[in-house]
Structure 1
Amino acid sequence: MNSSSHRQQDSNKQAGAPRRHQLGLALLAIWGSSLGPYSVALASEEIAKKEETEQLAPVIVQSNRVPVSKTVMRGEELSRVAGTGGDPVRALQSLPGVVATSDGNAAPAIRGSRPGDNAYYIDFLPVGYVYHLGGYLSTVHPELVKQFELYTGAFGPEFDDVHGGIVDITLRQPRSDRLGGQIRVGILGADVLVEGPVTENQSFYFAAKKSYIDLLIRGKQTDEDSGVIYTMPKFSDYQAKYSWRLNESNTLSFHAMGAQDQIKFTVPADTDMAIQDPALAGDSKSKESSNTQAVVWDHTLNSRVSNKLALGHMDERSQGKFGSAADADVKVDNFFLRDQLRLRLGEDHDLTLGTILFAQKYKLDLDLLDARCTEFDPACDLTSAERKKFKDELKVNYSIFYLKDRWQLTPELAATAGLHFTRDGYLNRNYTEPRLGLEWRALKHTTFNMGWGKHNQFPDGLQVLQNLGNPKLGHMQATHSVLGVSQALADGWSVKTEIYQKKFDNFVIADPTLNYSNGGSGDASGVELFLKKDAVANSKLSGWLSVSLAKARRQNDVTGHEFKFEYDQPVVVNLVGNYKYSDKWQFGAKWSYHSGNLFTPVVGTGAYPDGRVKPIYGELNSERLPSYHRLDLRVDQVVSPRLSVYYELLNAYAQKNISGYTYTADYKKRRSNVELGITPNVGLDYKF
């Protein structure tokens, strides 16, 4: 396995879940290598209003201001982006600060961090299961998405402990006029939505999605490049909400959501992959599931005081067998509370107090080869690793308390000061972190923004388990600094530019004595441009241009070795356009470009003690793949008031983008792995 395996390994974890929720997911060393062939096969065969002007309005409890490193997008805008199949979560990769990982993975890597370094919220609730199929499509029903808020750095103290970014998804309320719904059909699966009123003050919606690609393509398939034998995946999800307006001051909402994924594949013993790493040979399977139930109480005491309280439970299960490399069964029961109190102390003063509490119970049954793979070492051989077994039940308590104070100092100047406190009951660690922000309206439509803050993140799950890892590890830590300027222009145009720097410390590296230790650091910096055209009256054109120039690196502080971060992409460009020709026809296009992904080359060979050929790697992440670029086209047709259809052409000019290289069993030759080819896509939407 070279460094590209770390990319697969990271993208196939439960993207969006804070790391502590993955405490028992001890498949870090083999997860990516086992799912990688499946991802290649799936891609190659089947994956066929004006945003409000930024201004310093008087402080109110619900503010429409846009602080530094925050991008606000309506769900409707993102669901029309070409190449997404109508999935707004996939469109996040076209926004500034986000690095694309691969054609088959929508999970965003943000400003020098990995996809697993982000936190996700849906309707105020922390969630962990956001993507199906390792990242190809989301578990969120597109029709329900009202708004996305993407925080790429220096985010406030009210969010969870991550050093990447925050995706805060707001779903709309159920309709209250009549019973209705929607049926959506696409290439991979179909979903249904039913919603409507129950009484004058109560309403509901229920949405569910189910794959059927496994019914259309039955039996076992063989990937021509890798020789891996697989069956098509199965996935499903659901979301439900019941809203009850008790009176003008109180609203209760009951939430339920869940998702499930299943895949099976076999690595024959005579394939290059099995010859290189025999532990991967044989049958493999994975089943993931997650279910969340919660109640949210919105209470407005008066014009100056409001409170939002959420109580919930999330059960997760991860079952996997990967050749002889691992056999794991992990169950998690997670009870959580999130409370946020907002106080309007004056016309120009807003205070927010809050807490996020987790009480978790883990049941772990692990039997695996412990290769201790990290991003700091390209050599990760499973077959030669020591086999370890771990069976235990763990209880983990985790608490966050925060305070945020925003003060309008003058009509043109506003300051925000925050404090974020973390109590980690498992690692017995406390972190107190300041967060600061400043907004200056220099001209009527020109605002300068500044953000600074310290952030922490729980290590990966396997790394903190007794015997397998080091339960005395500290959290990874980061300092975010951002400076930006935004300008509102005429006719729905706006432009925003930001420069940022992140400094990281306490990354986890393999340790021969302690298993793992906090011995890594790094930094990331860059400049971003976001030019946006909103759909306004008498204008048929909308879209945006995002440009990012960045660099990111890592350093092993024990050896002093410095190298480029795996997701370092110096240039990222996304151009998204939509043209509303008429009420019945709309045309869209998206062109994406980014510097090629980094990889670690094999420069020679040696021998393992068992006689297998051992790869000798060159400098870590020292070579770069050819630049990536792709054009997607989309046509939306309104057939009738109830029926609409979209047609897409992915990779319209058939660019052969390379996602990595696969070596022959003796490592003497390598072949290119090509991303998605030119692929048609179609879907229909029927409302009733």
Structure 2
Amino acid sequence: MRTLLCVVCVLLASGAVAQAPDAGTLAGDAGVPTGELTKPPALLRQVEAAYPPDAAAQQLEGTVVMFIDISETGAVTNVEVTQPAGHGFDEAAVEAVKQFQFEPAEIDHVPAPVRIQYAYQFVFRAPEPPPEAAPDGGVQEPRGPVNFSGRALERGTRKPLVGAEVVLTELDRSTVTDSEGRFSFRGVPVGTHPVIVVLGNYDRFKTQETIEAGQETQATYYVQRRIFSQYETVVRSERERKEVTRTTLTVAEVQRVPGTQGDTLKVVQNLPGVARPAFNGGALVIRGTSPQESGVFLDGLRIPILYHFGGLTSVYNSDLLEAVDYLPGNFSAYYGDITGGVINVRSREPRTDRLHATVGLSVIESNAVVEGPLTDTLSFAIGGRRSYIDLVLKAVPFDDDSLQVAPRYYDAQAKLVWKPNSRHTFTLQGLTSRDRLALLLDQPADNDPSINGGLDVTTGFNQLRLRHQFREGKLTLDTHGLIGNTLLDFQVGERGLRIASTDLYLRPTVEYAFNDRVTVAGGLDVVANLAKVTASIQQPPREGEPPSPLVTEDLIHIDGDFTQYYPSAWAEVRWRPLENLLVVPGVRTESYVFTDQQEVKHTVNPRVAVRYALTEALTLKGGAGVYHSPPVQDEPSPGFGNPDLGAKRSLQYSVGAEWQARPEWFVGSEVFYNDLDDLIVRSSARVERDGESVPENLKNGGVGRIYGFELLIRRALTDRLFGWIAYTLSRSERRDAPGARWRKFDNDQTHVLTAIASYKLPRGWEVGARFRFASGNPTTPVLGAKRDDTTDVFIPYYGRVNSQRLPSFNQLDLRVDKNLVFDTWNLDLYLDLTNAYNNQSVEGVAYNYNYSQREFFKGLPILPVLGLKGAF
């Protein structure tokens, strides 16, 4: 008898998954750590376990599943049995695995420690007969041509099974599949022979093959994974983290979070520091700041819109993503022109093994992705999505024909990646997105006659991106270029606003690692927006200003061309004076140039982050920095705002700790404080511009403060379970003038709690739940109203701004998936149930025409979404 050893480990991930905030160090994105698993560990030396005598006497078999920690040198540092087999198999397997030697895994092309899952299989065989002696005294090997060969592939995905053992049990012969899943035998006797294929985490595959004289039998075996998933993850130890707080989500972890309909980007709203947006929309409210103060990036460059219709679904197909990085504050000098948080969406390269396709259908939209290689060095990916909400609503009868709704959206992505050699990578990417929402109002609103005739909103953008990455030795160069356009067309009756802009970006970066202790990085950012603006509309309300009837406001008419230009430069040093201490000082300079501006504005932003590993499991962290955000949207325009506005400033401080006793578990906590000044507020003064007196409209005169505590308890995806608990306690306040009372920001939420869990069951079932609780948003009470004789409407007068709160929010979302796995493709059927116990959230207050009566207006009731997703 002898042991049948599964010689290849099954990774808990073969994609890039950040196990904790700020995973990975700077790599190809020069300033944006990717944390990519560029090389999995490979088994160099195996030791065969002794078959336990008692088990052999009873002809027992077993499989021992274990976690193996592999160091950056390839040595086995720890073995932990997770699925014991008993009968002495566990002890024998552990003793053998401790003597294994691996070729180290690499994260971003650098050796790094990882944790893998390994299944050691014991298969009983009868004692072998004495081998036939060869003429030279050695052992006689089978002779003759190859007459039995084939491939072993994963059922449902067709991934090659590397290291699977193919056994001819009656002949006591076996072989191991290569990197393409191929195997072959020579001189197999004619006849029918039992065949088994075994590999850790896969069901044992059994069949029979008939060997005929003079012919080669070829077979393809589709082997079923015990817990099927399109995605795999790797639980890895971290080499270095340079941000104070960074959380990375991967497609593998979040494709099935309940309430998100499989949209990876929507899961960001469930992380610490992110408030719940109104109507569960797409606004990103990070640490109490307004959505305009945070930045959304795709591969390091800004994208103007992240979600369709403010939150239905994101504008970038989740199947083309690698991961999403979330930085709530104290981020490095790589990012600028924002005082809130950062969302960086990382797209992945197209697959190069073969042609792949994914098609998804639900009750609101359909989408598809096709990708694969064109040549040995060139690969492509194409994705698209189209909603059919407008088609569904047309089939629904309305009692009142005065309101007709026709919303629709679409987006598309195309990507080409060319790698002529190991040093150069060229990427060409095109994006497009378009939304339209039309409402027909036959009757004007009761308390505002100016709102009539209908509403028509169109938003969208197009982008063409070119990127070149160069890596050689210690030097990395990364250059991005972008040209695009953005459209906002908003029409309400005879009033409207249309902004059509041309967007230009250039971002070269460089990184050089002098040694293991010192790395320097820096770069330039050049952004230009050339806009054509046509407007005939009232002044929109600002943050903290309760709405009033628009009919009382004068129309502002604008028809002109405007330019906004933002050149910046940044540099930072990553210095490790001690093995367990990392210090990252950096600085960023920013300038702002606007049409009709009298003086160019400049800012300097020094920043520093410190991480200290107190023990192997416990890390202390802290950071401080200066952040500026330029005037945005209408703020620097002469008609609506003031082209001489300066940038808003935020002084950010944070301290915290991270505890990671096991690679799959992470606990992080942080206390933060943001001191804000030069906030933009309303002004009634007049100023001199081009020799004449004009309204100032806006000025830098407000101050603010944001402080709080964040907690994240997270379990990374393994075979069956993942999830997290996120809690934020915070307060965001501002003062609009010296001596004025402090008031709450519009987006202040004292408590935000999110709990998410997903578990994979046998037979392809998966269940998940998400529970959310959040304090209600601030609201300003109406104390009364008086009738305006000139317009015949009632004008409200308000109490103290944001002095009351709406009722708190709580909601449970559920999701059930059923995976159907076929030989060459797989199908996921799902039910995503939003607001499972039908608790409609309070989103605001509505008043009658004279403000004498009020009622809450509420969000959506229970919403079931059925869908399916097929892939091959």
**Smaller-chain TM-score range?**
0.7 to 0.9
Match status 1:338 vs 2:507:
yes
Match status 1:381 vs 2:519:
no
Superposition TM-score, scaled by structure 2 size: 0.70
What is the deviation of 1:90? Answer: 1.1
**Kept in 2: contact 1:54–1:445 (CA 8 A):** no
**Kept in 1: contact 2:429–2:464 (CA 8 A):** yes
Q: Distance in 2 between matches of 1:219 and 1:518?
A: 51
One-letter amino acid of the counterpart of residue 294, structure 2: N
Identical counterparts, % of pairs: 25
- Tell me what 1:528 maps to: 710
**Kept in 1: contact 2:430–2:463 (CA 8 A):** yes
Greater Cα shift, 343-352 or 432-441: 343-352
Q: Distance in 1 between matches of 2:271 and 2:542?
A: 28
- Tell me what 2:421 maps to: 247
Q: Distance in 1 between matches of 2:410 and 2:743?
A: 40
One-letter amino acid of the counterpart of residue 618, structure 1: G
One-letter amino acid of the counterpart of residue 277, structure 1: D
* The one of 508, 518, 532 aligned to 1:349: 518
Larger-Rg structure:
2
Greater Cα shift, 186-195 or 636-645: 636-645
- Tell me what 1:25 maps to: none
User: Matched residue of 1:464: which SS?
Assistant: coil
Greater Cα shift, 574-583 or 51-60: 51-60
- Tell me what 1:10 maps to: none
Match status 1:299 vs 2:470:
yes
User: Matched residue of 1:512: which SS?
Assistant: strand
Match runs of 1:515-594 below 5 Å: 515-536=697-718, 540-558=720-738, 560-582=740-762, 584-594=764-774
One-letter amino acid of the counterpart of residue 628, structure 1: F
Q: Distance in 2 between matches of 1:243 and 1:680?
A: 39
What is the deviation of 1:56? Answer: 11
What is the deviation of 1:107? Answer: 2.5
Q: Distance in 2 between matches of 1:79 and 1:602?
A: 43
Q: Distance in 1 between matches of 2:476 and 2:25?
A: 17
Cα 1:78–1:59 change in 2 (3 A) is closer
What is the deviation of 1:565? Answer: 1.1
One-letter amino acid of the counterpart of residue 592, structure 2: D
Higher relative contact order at CA 8 Å, sep ≥6: structure 1 or structure 2?
Answer: 1
- Tell me what 2:450 maps to: 279
Match status 1:631 vs 2:631:
no
One-letter amino acid of the counterpart of residue 413, structure 1: L
Q: Distance in 2 between matches of 1:189 and 1:89?
A: 16
Match status 1:179 vs 2:355:
yes
Post-superposition Cα deviations, 1:170-194, rounded to whole Å, max 9, x if no partner, equal: 1111011112211111121101111
Match runs of 1:405-420 below 5 Å: 405-420=573-588
* The one of 354, 367, 370 aligned to 1:191: 367
One-letter amino acid of the counterpart of residue 112, structure 1: G
Q: Distance in 2 between matches of 1:53 and 1:126?
A: 24
What is the deviation of 1:210? Answer: 0.5
Match runs of 1:43-54 below 5 Å: 49=13, 51-52=18-19
Q: Distance in 1 between matches of 2:23 and 2:353?
A: 36
Post-superposition Cα deviations, 1:617-672, rounded to whole Å, max 9, x if no partner, equal: 11111111111100001111111242111111111111132111111111111122
Where do 5+ consecutive residues of structure 1 fail to align? Answer: 1-48
Q: Distance in 1 between matches of 2:270 and 2:20?
A: 21
Cα 1:359–1:476 change in 2 (3 A) is same
User: Matched residue of 1:217: which SS?
Assistant: helix
Q: Distance in 1 between matches of 2:778 and 2:427?
A: 46
- Tell me what 2:692 maps to: none
User: Matched residue of 1:517: which SS?
Assistant: strand
Match status 1:139 vs 2:315:
yes
**Kept in 2: contact 1:373–1:510 (CA 8 A):** no
User: Matched residue of 2:550: which SS?
Assistant: coil
**Kept in 2: contact 1:379–1:617 (CA 8 A):** no
Cα 1:59–1:347 change in 2 (3 A) is farther
- Tell me what 1:103 maps to: 279
What is the deviation of 1:392? Answer: 1.0
What is the deviation of 1:359? Answer: 2.6
What is the deviation of 1:110? Answer: 0.4
Q: Distance in 2 between matches of 1:337 and 1:448?
A: 36
Report how many aligned residue pairs link the two structures: 630
Where do 5+ consecutive residues of structure 2 fail to align? Answer: 1-12, 36-238, 686-695
**Kept in 1: contact 2:19–2:248 (CA 8 A):** no
One-letter amino acid of the counterpart of residue 505, structure 2: F
Q: Distance in 2 between matches of 1:626 and 1:360?
A: 41
User: Matched residue of 2:585: which SS?
Assistant: strand
- Tell me what 2:191 maps to: none
* The one of 57, 82, 90 aligned to 2:258: 82
User: Matched residue of 1:76: which SS?
Assistant: helix
- Tell me what 1:659 maps to: 843
User: Matched residue of 2:481: which SS?
Assistant: strand
- Tell me what 1:446 maps to: 618
**Kept in 2: contact 1:89–1:106 (CA 8 A):** no
- Tell me what 1:39 maps to: none
- Tell me what 2:486 maps to: 316
What is the deviation of 1:583? Answer: 5.7
**Kept in 2: contact 1:59–1:349 (CA 8 A):** no
Match status 1:649 vs 2:823:
no
One-letter amino acid of the counterpart of residue 435, structure 1: R
**Kept in 1: contact 2:618–2:660 (CA 8 A):** yes
Q: Distance in 2 between matches of 1:652 and 1:466?
A: 49
**Kept in 1: contact 2:544–2:802 (CA 8 A):** no
Greater Cα shift, 589-598 or 393-402: 393-402
One-letter amino acid of the counterpart of residue 546, structure 2: P
Greater Cα shift, 617-626 or 437-446: 617-626
Match status 1:170 vs 2:346:
yes
- Tell me what 1:472 maps to: 644
User: Matched residue of 2:340: which SS?
Assistant: coil
- Tell me what 1:65 maps to: 240
What is the deviation of 1:59? Answer: 8.8
**Kept in 2: contact 1:59–1:348 (CA 8 A):** no
One-letter amino acid of the counterpart of residue 283, structure 1: G
Q: Distance in 2 between matches of 1:541 and 1:246?
A: 40
**Kept in 2: contact 1:221–1:230 (CA 8 A):** no
- Tell me what 2:232 maps to: none
Superposition TM-score, scaled by structure 1 size: 0.88
- Tell me what 2:334 maps to: 158
Post-superposition Cα deviations, 1:194-248, rounded to whole Å, max 9, x if no partner, equal: 1111000100000000111211221797698xx9723130100011110000111
Q: Distance in 1 between matches of 2:363 and 2:809?
A: 25
Q: Distance in 1 between matches of 2:22 and 2:698?
A: 48
Match status 1:262 vs 2:442:
no
Greater Cα shift, 400-409 or 73-82: 73-82
**Kept in 1: contact 2:246–2:328 (CA 8 A):** yes
- Tell me what 1:17 maps to: none
- Tell me what 1:680 maps to: 864
Greater Cα shift, 78-87 or 555-564: 555-564
Q: Distance in 2 between matches of 1:115 and 1:276?
A: 29
**Kept in 2: contact 1:457–1:475 (CA 8 A):** yes
**Kept in 2: contact 1:59–1:350 (CA 8 A):** no
What is the deviation of 1:501? Answer: 0.5
User: Matched residue of 1:90: which SS?
Assistant: helix
Q: Distance in 2 between matches of 1:115 and 1:681?
A: 28
Match status 1:231 vs 2:405:
yes
Cα 1:58–1:165 change in 2 (3 A) is closer
One-letter amino acid of the counterpart of residue 250, structure 1: H
